[in-house]
Chain A
């Protein structure tokens, strides 16, 4: 009836149609006028409409996201208890699961640490613990929880096809496209063989030095190839990355047809899993280098000290030898720790070994090359076993001070030297008398000298002539003493002035001197 009111003449116009057609047209008109859109009608069709609307592009889900979030926020604001009560069973289960996972990994890590308890490492850790005071368990954990994620695979869960993979720089391995499906196969095989429940996943596989850590999402699997023992951080990183991957690429995964293009850019997410964690890179102390350097240093120190000691000892020996009457050290050469000493040694002088003993030096490291010579220091014939009395020596020195000079390049005595010769005679007379009282006999060498720096025959000859001339004068003036004197020409070997610089020096060396010789009366 209402149709006739709103559309006068409608029934007339429809009279030619059959009853079913009339009903359909009227129902359609009612729907167009909104007559059937009642809450009951919407309630009946809404679930179906939501399902249809969310198919394909998930437009409905996306459009509902904001509303859902705001609804939850409003619910919490109004009555937090309601949501807490609703979520309580899930929260408890989720926390339990997370704790179980953490404890399982913690225990695994502990077990690995304890596995090493029979190793040398363990002893080192014990020692470190005692030394540093750090608890042993802490050291074990620090040493064992060390890892590096070297390769990350994002795998399509349903097909096992590799979506993307990233690895640390320089890491190469087998073809990732083949590894990813095989990993899925292995996991399925283990699961089937062990008859694991659907909820139980194979989330870790140990292969050599690597642990393959696997995280599953609804559409994708993330596999981390970890060198060492991964800790919870790696697992957490994997979970976070997998969640983000699903958020961003969920719809792409759902409609996955093998096309890789939509996944461009996912690598940056995967790279977040390439982490390393644990103890700082263990820097080995360069024990061998330190030892070697220490040995070298020690050797240097030893040789250095020995060298100094040896050098001082050598110097002391040379000094002592030089100081010893009748021994002259001509040269000293040290080669490979052995010292060669060239000596001039008067047969009457002390033995070099005795001198060395007196300065507490062994002659084992010395080679002595000695040449015999007659030292003027022994001209007073020091007896080996009895010292010449000082009184005699003083007279001897007084006698030695008397010098007779000669003309230049001549054997002629200068005139006016008779007094000196006479005095020499007097001293000799005194010496003869006094030396007899001491048990010594005295004689005098009238020693002729020559000027110049070459000891040749001419020098020896002129000195000899000078000595004889002086002897003649001495004998003439001191006739009674002639048996106590003899003439001796020494050339330039014992000059009065060793280095002639002036004419005066040369004059002094053209001379004759008197040398007293004492001999013990046996």
Chain B
């Protein structure tokens, strides 16, 4: 069994906590509660190759200015999700900036972009071009919905499998 630290980053209200709640507890709530500081959750999973992984999921407080993040919260992570809200274009540009910073800080960590709120696609302000542009970070990308559960499990399992392959934290 291996344990991996996974962090979720992104600006306020993109749905980080909802994604974790959906994945860990299979619950979705329309109520919006702001995460203060950090909250830790856990999920035991078995990868397709049979390997057991315990994901220690750090739900980080949403901040518009990523520079305010305490390094100590991120220290030792094996992977991270950068979460953006498809209905808010500014969340995507902040996500790009977060991804760049993170790439510099943790070049060996696995990363994935999650463009959340796929259930509200008609309200999306994000274009496919914007999403393709994200590839410059060499990250994979999922369009997710914490409400319907679309791609949530897939995104978590994918990053867990990639983290498990690496022999570093």
Contacts and interface: CB of A to CB of B under 8 A. Distances in A.
Contacts of B2: 257-260
B169 A256 contact: yes
A52 interface: no
A188 B40 contact: no
Contact of B58 (A158, A177, A181): A181
Given A178-B42, A258-B169, A188 B3 contact: no
11 contacts: A158-B169, A161-B4, A177-B3, A177-B56, A178-B40, A178-B56, A181-B40, A181-B58, A185-B40, A256-B169, A257-B2
Contacts of B166: 257
A445 to B, nearest CB: 117
Contacts of B70: 188-189, 192
Contacts, number: 71
Interface stretch (B27-35, B73-81, B93-101): B73-81
Contacts of B167: 255, 257
Nearest to A176: B42
A259 B40 CA distance: 19
Nearest to B164: A258
Interface of B: 1-5, 37-38, 40-42, 54, 56, 58, 70, 72-73, 75-78, 163-164, 166-169
A257 B4 CA distance: 8
A161 B4 CA distance: 8
Nearest to B58: A181
Contact of A188 (B4, B5, B73, B78): B73
A159 B72 contact: no
Contacts of A162: 3
Contact of B5 (A160, A189, A192, A255): A160
A260 B169 contact: no
A292 interface: no
Contacts of B169: 156, 158-159, 161, 256-258
A189 B4 contact: no
Contact of B42 (A159, A177, A255, A258): A177
B76 A161 contact: yes
Contacts of A257: 2, 166-169
Contacts of A177: 3, 42, 54, 56
A203 B169 CA distance: 25
Interface string A135-163: 00000000000000000000010111110
Nearest to A184: B72
A160 B3 contact: no
A257 B37 CA distance: 26
B37 A161 contact: no
A189 B164 CA distance: 29
Nearest to A177: B42
Interface in A15-32: none
A159 B37 contact: no
Which 7 A/B pairs are nearest by Cβ-Cβ distance?
Answer: A159-B76, A158-B76, A188-B72, A258-B2, A181-B40, A257-B167, A177-B42
A175 B1 CA distance: 17
Contacts of B77: 159
B160 to A, nearest CB: 11
Interface of A: 156, 158-162, 175, 177-178, 181-182, 184-185, 188-189, 192, 255-261
Nearest to A162: B3
Contacts of A159: 5, 56, 75-78, 169
Nearest to A189: B37
B3 A161 contact: yes
B78 A258 contact: yes
Given A255-B167, A259-B2, A181 B72 contact: no
A160 B75 CA distance: 9
A261 B168 contact: no
Given A156-B76, A185-B40, A257-B166, 9 more contacts: A158-B75, A158-B76, A160-B75, A160-B76, A161-B169, A162-B3, A185-B73, A189-B37, A258-B3
A162 B70 CA distance: 20
Nearest to A255: B167
A258 B164 CA distance: 8
A255 B168 CA distance: 7
B133 to A, nearest CB: 32
Nearest to B76: A159
A156 B40 CA distance: 15
Contacts of A184: 72
A166 B94 CA distance: 43
B8 to A, nearest CB: 14
A257 B40 CA distance: 19
B144 to A, nearest CB: 23
A55 B53 CA distance: 29
A101 B72 CA distance: 26
A288 B40 CA distance: 49
B5 A178 contact: no
Nearest to A156: B76
Contacts of B56: 159-161, 177-178, 181
